[in-house]
Amino acid sequence: MGCSERSTKQVVDFKSLRFGVEVECTGQTRERVAQAIQSVVGGEVRHVGTPACYDPYEVTDASGRIWRVVADSSLTDVSSHLRAEVVSPILTYGDIPEFQEVIRAVRKCGAKSSPKAGVHIHLDCSQFDGKSLINLAKLYAKQEALILKAFGVSEERMNRYAKPMNPAFIQRIEKCRKREVSEINKLWYGYQKANPQRYDPERYAAVNFTSYLIRGSVEFRLFQFPTEKLHAGMLRAWIVFVLALGARALNCKGTSSRRREFDPESARYDFRVFLLHLGLIGDEFKSPRAHLLHLMPGDAAWKHGRKAVKKGVK
């Protein structure tokens, strides 16, 4: 899939990577959502209250990690007291089952998704160097047409909150001979920005490198539940995909950024092959593969569709 493996470096297992998740939801108060989280992770609910614009609640779990529930001004389809964003602490692959239980508890308490609500997954990039960060951008760019279709990203979301990767960013990468972390700022903005800010407009990208420049994690902003239901299985599939893509970028010696054209006839097959190349093989990932392939047209086993077998021909 346009990526050659490293031969002199230990292969990184995507299960070793860390991540964080932000889940926007509506229909329930932040206090009640925090209480739902507490029912799973333990600890006590604390109303921090400041800064007032976020009105945060915190839950400290048994491991000392802090789960936060904050207001989100983008959820304009409901009253302000019914806007809640669940912000997880830094998590590991082994934490996914508990995180799924958190989401189920939040759903059970009455919180739901909405057309304005999204899910953001932060990939911890503490193991990444400049080359692997560039690999990540190029791997995503190459498969972006398939990825956006697989995750059902709406035109509205692509136009505002999760814009497709800027071709100029990839062009700058291709022209840059250096593969150093120090180059990422200039490559991302198009110039060396002295003080990147959290709310820089460049952050509204499906894959947001502004986040890396501020907090050391690349943010994936393209996720949104297709209905009001907060779906724990779908969320697991998205997390696994991000981790697997990150590991692929770390393990690559290099990769092409030549964009794959979207072909409805072969899309399901093409994306299934991509998932297998990311390591999502076997029964453990049967459910994530099903979620990730659900919206793709075509046949998963045949690139150009199943060929009809003539009767009497063996």
| Cα separation, 225 vs 117, whole angstroms | 8
For the chain, what are the domain ranges? 14-117, 123-224+243-293
Residue 272 Cα to chain centre, angstroms: 18
What are the 10-residue block averages of pLDDT along the chain, 314 residues in total? 60 96 97 98 94 95 95 92 97 98 98 96 97 96 96 94 96 91 96 93 96 97 96 98 97 86 92 96 96 94 69 51
Query: Sign of the CA dihedral 220, 226, 228, 231?
Result: negative
Q: Which pLDDT score is estimated for 96?
A: 98
Q: Is the pTM of this model over 0.85?
A: yes
Retrieve residue 198's tokens.
């959290």
Residue 314: the pLDDT is 45
Structure confidence at residue 153 (pLDDT) = 95
Let me know: does 152 contact 294? Beta carbons within 8 Å: no
- Looking at domain 14-117, which CATH architecture does it have? 2-Layer Sandwich (3.30)
Tokens describing residue 253: 């010696």
